[in-house]
A and B are shown apart, each in its own frame.
Chain A
């Protein structure tokens, strides 16, 4: 078992989120907004898809040593589950579901003479004798097998649910409306099962320049996207909350200093600040090779550092909002009353100010997530994002964009990366909107 820095932080984040959830599970103020989110169909569907992404990301965040498996010998649980995908490495590009390589080669036939043709792939569709004739039928039958396996799983789920419902009787039926949630989960299960079945025998998204399965790359990239989206907020949150509330609450010179800090940071164009910092990290790593012997930990530290820099450049917006809100709150009657009654400043901060800015913090977290996932791709394109050896959608796009000029066009790595990124960002956006609508008091008043 090997614990990388980001792994540890991700699980720390998970534990803190779960424990906060457990602590606040019976909190009265949360019931109405949570019910509102639960009633929002698009939000619930998005949440289920997001949870699938998170599950993949979490599986990919448990690393252990498996000798002889890879060059570095470190693989994750996800790697372990998807072994066929990364064992099936071809020579170079091949189109999705193709049984042939992208480029022609001289093939030595049985008689000894050579033919200039597309060679068969080593793994993709290799079980077929004549791909032209059999492929469509084979793909369909594999798809059917996969889908029916998924269906069986779903039916098992229905059975289990029936058992549990029998025990808890009507309580569950009253509290949830599991109809469409269950349908979403079923569709997802069936679809994923179909994809898995197909990906065992074909490269469903094709292969890239060095012959690696693109489907494998896209699901490995999920972790990078999630890490950037979540750890950055984890890092910027303490800065924004502490500085914002202190500036608004104490005013005077504290406010002046904090305002000076965030205006200065804001003044530097954020892309340039990120670029400068990443350049400096590169120089540092190049000059201290002894501390970064392991390829995995080196890429991991760079990812962590990227989150750190993104956090430093992105806390100013939330800080400003919190400061403005605290300025308003400290003049409120109940805060003034607490002051008159002799409650200590820290007591006021924790009891009266913090709970009342919580909705702003929560909304900022969910809204920032999708923007950060998109930012990763752009930064990787400018070469100031994650390490080139890390799987990420940005790196995939960066590696494939020049191939658009080829004839025929190599479109599959780009489309695969864009589709996965789009699904993640779209669901995150929809979920964020629902959270904002539910928690923002101004919106809930008008029943919007």
Chain B
């Protein structure tokens, strides 16, 4: 098992290298640092001096891949590729185009993101599974029919509508919670309630349908028929046997996204002005701060890869067949 996990761990390096090269290509080869400097400094009437000054200030004045002016090892290290891309592997994000330390910003901003994303995920999971179980328990009835219809309707409404409508109804008309913002400690709770509720409701449509399909497939299986045949009630079979067996795909599905929760949700955070990584990314996109976007791309892929690793570990724990590999 250790060997298996080790092999999976080794597999992550080519993956991250691939992501790194892809983003490097996107950010430095499609458009040269000169183009970027001109973009940042405004399009017209930019002198060559201004461009080269901007490049020196932000460390883009080096050659892309090979520095022929330097000796031996420095040939590789004194290049944009090494300075801006390889250093990401050591989580050295460098400074943003506006001069702030990206690493420090990320450390500070990932906790608000987690504070909103983790409860949304867990609560959403609970609500989705409960709704799906109810639909399966009362299958072939009007409750199931209208449940499915409600799911389709909920998933057909744009997430933006839930946010704008929710803010308008609960914050502006009813004045139950503040429209947006963030506080520290227990104070943060009143800012978090609305975004969490909105994300649970907007996810109910697709989530409920997905889990319902999962359970429906499960109740056709032989062990469920056996359980019913030995006299268990429908509720008991459903909650004890079906839910238990469906837990494996559900949990592994959750584990994959757990690390990504640090990244936060882009639109939620920007609508509710929560100082997390999602709004950080949006601000960077709007300011065209390439250094931050590049760092976030890399961070996101690292977290995804960690999620994959965790899933593999989970499988070895719950599925004995994997241990043999």
Does A404 sit at the interface, judged by CB under 8 A? yes
State the Cβ distance, A179 to closest chain B Cβ, in Å.
23
A287 touches B22 (CB 8 A): no
Chain B residues positioned under 8 Å from A374 (CB to CB): 158-159
B39 touches A269 (CB 8 A): no
Chain B residues positioned under 8 Å from A378 (CB to CB): 158-160, 267
Instruction: Render A407-438 as a binary contact track against B, CB cut-off 8 A, 1 for contact.
Output: 00100001000100110011001100100000
Interface size on A, residues (CB 8 A): 43
**Which residues of chain B from 151 to 204 have any CB-CB distance to chain A below 8 Å in the complex?**
152-153, 155-161, 164, 167-168, 172
B26 touches A276 (CB 8 A): yes
- Which one of A209-217, A259-267, A350-358 contacts B? A259-267
**Which residues of chain B from 17 to 61 have any CB-CB distance to chain A below 8 Å in the complex?**
18-19, 22-23, 26-27, 30-31, 35-36, 38-39, 43
- Which one of A80-88, A126-134, A148-156, A380-388 contacts B? A380-388
State the Cβ distance, A288 to closest chain B Cβ, in Å.
9
Total CB contacts across the A-B interface at under 8 A: 125
B31 touches A267 (CB 8 A): no
Does A286 sit at the interface, judged by CB under 8 A? yes
Does B285 sit at the interface, judged by CB under 8 A? yes
Instruction: Render A238-277 as a binary contact track against B, CB cut-off 8 A, 1 for contact.
Output: 0000000000000000000000100110111101110111
B31 touches A280 (CB 8 A): yes
Inter-chain CA distance A370–B159, complex, in Å, is: 13
Q: Which residues of B contact A (CB under 8 A)?
A: 14-16, 18-19, 22-23, 26-27, 30-31, 35-36, 38-39, 43, 152-153, 155-161, 164, 167-168, 172, 220, 260, 263, 266-267, 270, 281-282, 285-286, 288, 290, 293-294, 296-297, 300-301, 304-305, 308
Inter-chain CA distance A384–B270, complex, in Å, is: 14
A283 touches B157 (CB 8 A): no
State the Cβ distance, A417 to closest chain B Cβ, in Å.
9
A-B contact pairs, 30 of them (CB 8 A): A260-B15, A260-B18, A264-B18, A267-B305, A268-B19, A268-B22, A268-B23, A268-B297, A269-B260, A269-B263, A269-B301, A269-B304, A271-B266, A272-B296, A275-B293, A276-B26, A279-B285, A280-B30, A280-B31, A282-B288, A283-B39, A283-B288, A287-B31, A374-B158, A381-B267, A382-B270, A418-B158, A425-B157, A426-B153, A429-B152
B304 touches A404 (CB 8 A): no
A266 touches B158 (CB 8 A): no
A267 touches B26 (CB 8 A): no
A272 touches B164 (CB 8 A): no
B14 touches A260 (CB 8 A): yes
Does A397 sit at the interface, judged by CB under 8 A? yes
Residue of A nearest to B297 (CB): A272
Chain A residues positioned under 8 Å from B19 (CB to CB): 264, 267-268
Known interface pairs A268-B300, A283-B35, A286-B39; A382-B285 also in contact (CB < 8 Å): yes
B15 touches A263 (CB 8 A): yes
Chain A residues positioned under 8 Å from B260 (CB to CB): 269
Residue of B nearest to A264 (CB): B18
Chain A residues positioned under 8 Å from B38 (CB to CB): 286-287
Does A401 sit at the interface, judged by CB under 8 A? yes
Secondary structure at the B interface, as helix, strand, loop or mixed, is: helix
Does A116 sit at the interface, judged by CB under 8 A? no
Inter-chain CA distance A430–B148, complex, in Å, is: 11
State the Cβ distance, B269 to closest chain A Cβ, in Å.
11
Partner of B158, one of A273, A283, A383, A421: A421
Known interface pairs A275-B285, A286-B39, A378-B267; A280-B27 also in contact (CB < 8 Å): yes
B27 touches A276 (CB 8 A): yes
State the Cβ distance, B225 to closest chain A Cβ, in Å.
14
Chain A residues positioned under 8 Å from B300 (CB to CB): 267-269, 272
Instruction: Render A362-399 as a binary contact track against B, CB cut-off 8 A, 1 for contact.
Output: 00000000100010011001111000000001000100
State the Cβ distance, A376 to closest chain B Cβ, in Å.
10
Inter-chain CA distance A374–B38, complex, in Å, is: 34
Does A284 sit at the interface, judged by CB under 8 A? yes
Does A174 sit at the interface, judged by CB under 8 A? no
B266 touches A382 (CB 8 A): yes
**Which residues of chain A from 103 to 124 have any CB-CB distance to chain B below 8 Å in the complex?**
none
Chain A residues positioned under 8 Å from B155 (CB to CB): 429
Does A446 sit at the interface, judged by CB under 8 A? yes
State the Cβ distance, A374 to closest chain B Cβ, in Å.
5
Chain B residues positioned under 8 Å from A409 (CB to CB): 168
Residue of A nearest to B157 (CB): A422
Inter-chain CA distance A418–B153, complex, in Å, is: 13
A377 touches B160 (CB 8 A): yes
Residue of A nearest to B148 (CB): A433
Instruction: Render A338-359 as a binary contact track against B, CB cut-off 8 A, 1 for contact.
Output: 0000000000000000000000
Residue of B nearest to A378 (CB): B267
State the Cβ distance, A314 to closest chain B Cβ, in Å.
16
State the Cβ distance, B306 to closest chain A Cβ, in Å.
10
Chain A residues positioned under 8 Å from B288 (CB to CB): 279, 282-283
Chain B residues positioned under 8 Å from A414 (CB to CB): 164
Known interface pairs A260-B15, A268-B22; A382-B152 also in contact (CB < 8 Å): no
A397 touches B156 (CB 8 A): no
Max count, chain A CB within 10 A of own CB: residue among B30, B155, B161:
B161
- By Cβ-Cβ distance, the 7 closest A-B pairs, closest first, are A264-B18, A426-B156, A269-B300, A267-B301, A425-B156, A283-B31, A267-B304
Residue of A nearest to B16 (CB): A267
